[in-house]
Amino acid sequence: MSNILDQIFVYHPMPWIDRDWARVSGIPLEEVWFQAEDGPRLFGWYVEARGTGAVLLWCHGNAGNIIHRLENLVELYRLGLSVFIFDYRGYGRSNGTPSEEGLYADALAAYTYVTETRRMAPQRLVLFGRSLGAAVAVELASRQPAAGLILESPFPSVAAVVRHYYGGLPLHWFLGARFNLADRLKQISIPVLVVHGDRDEVIPIELGRQVFEAAQEPKSFYPVPGAGHNDLYLVGGRAYFQRLKQFVETVVR
């Protein structure tokens, strides 16, 4: 269950803006509607590229909606990576109210869409989670098979973030959301790539390193010098995108 404090402090969805986003972006965005098992109708974009034959299932962060990831999406498409990016319940065009269990259910529904409707084999599916979405992707990886896991700007748990900002004050006790990524990650054995900006002002890189330490081998850590929380892909530039592609090509053969 999500409580009122979660809605204030954890989830920051933004309303949808109607526009021809395929024309704006110049890439073939296919609109997809699908349903979570517990009811909410969800929306996403599927972008099919000619390239690796792999699909990135993208779990985004706690703010905005998929529109705000469009620049990323364009670059990944140009690299030859297909992507399915979706909005959690309460984000963008998706129905419902966000909660921790709800986000997990939404990711599971997205996985079902890719593997059953699109008939993509799990061995060709790479889970990509950014910030809060990293915890969602890890939870999904603990429930369903995939070729690999990319965690960008992740944190070990909500409690770890609260401790960083508020010292010993147990303010996380008042939140319903836990997102215990590190505990779940210890149970996962697929290849993991952790990406983090070394000037991340929201989730410090030390928290990203804690996530990396919790992961089993095979794993790798890719720091992006000079990058903050929201400009990582911009600062990282071509080298960043090439690193993502290299990981995908290594785990999907």
The structure tokens 């997102």 sit at 179
Alpha carbon distance 81, 126 (integer Å): 10
Q: Other CB atoms closer than 10 Å to residue 239's CB: what's the count?
A: 10
Separation CA 206–CA 72 (nearest Å): 24
If you compute the radius of gyration of the chain from its CA atoms, what whole number of angstroms results?
17
What CA–CA distance (Å, rounded) separates 141 from 111?
10
Domain of residue 241 covers 4-251
Bridge partners (DSSP) listed for residue 60: none
Angle at 74 between CA 21 and CA 24, to 5 degrees: 25
* 152 DSSP β-pair partners: 130, 195
Count of domains in the chain?
1
Rounded to the nearest 10 degrees, the angle between the axes of helix 100-112 and helix 132-143 is 60
Return the bridge partners of 201, or none.
Answer: none
| CATH number of the domain to which 212 belongs | 3.40.50.1820
> Which residues belong to the active site?
131, 200, 229
User: How many helices (H) and strands (E) are present in the chain, helices listed first?
Assistant: 9, 10
**Spatial contact of 82 and 48, defined as CB atoms under 8 Å apart:** yes
Q: Which helix (H) or strand (E) holds 127?
A: strand 125-130
Closest C-alpha among 176, 186, 184, 179 to residue 203: 179
The Cα–Cα gap between 169 and 150 comes to: 31
User: Buried (b) or exposed (e) across 5-25, using 16+ Cβ within 10 A?
Assistant: ebbebbbebeeeeeeebeeeb
Answer for the pair 243, 217: CB distance below 8 angstroms, yes or no.
no
The residue behind tokens 């505990």 is 183
The tokens for 81 are 């990576």
For every one of its 253 residues, what pLDDT tens digit does the chain have, with 9 covering 90 and above? 446 557 656 899 999 999 999 999 999 999 999 999 999 999 999 999 987 789 999 999 999 999 999 999 999 999 999 999 999 999 999 999 999 999 999 999 999 999 999 999 999 999 999 999 999 999 999 999 999 999 999 999 988 888 877 665 455 444 667 899 999 999 999 999 999 999 999 999 999 999 999 999 999 999 999 999 999 999 999 999 999 999 999 999 8
The predicted model scores a pTM of: 0.94
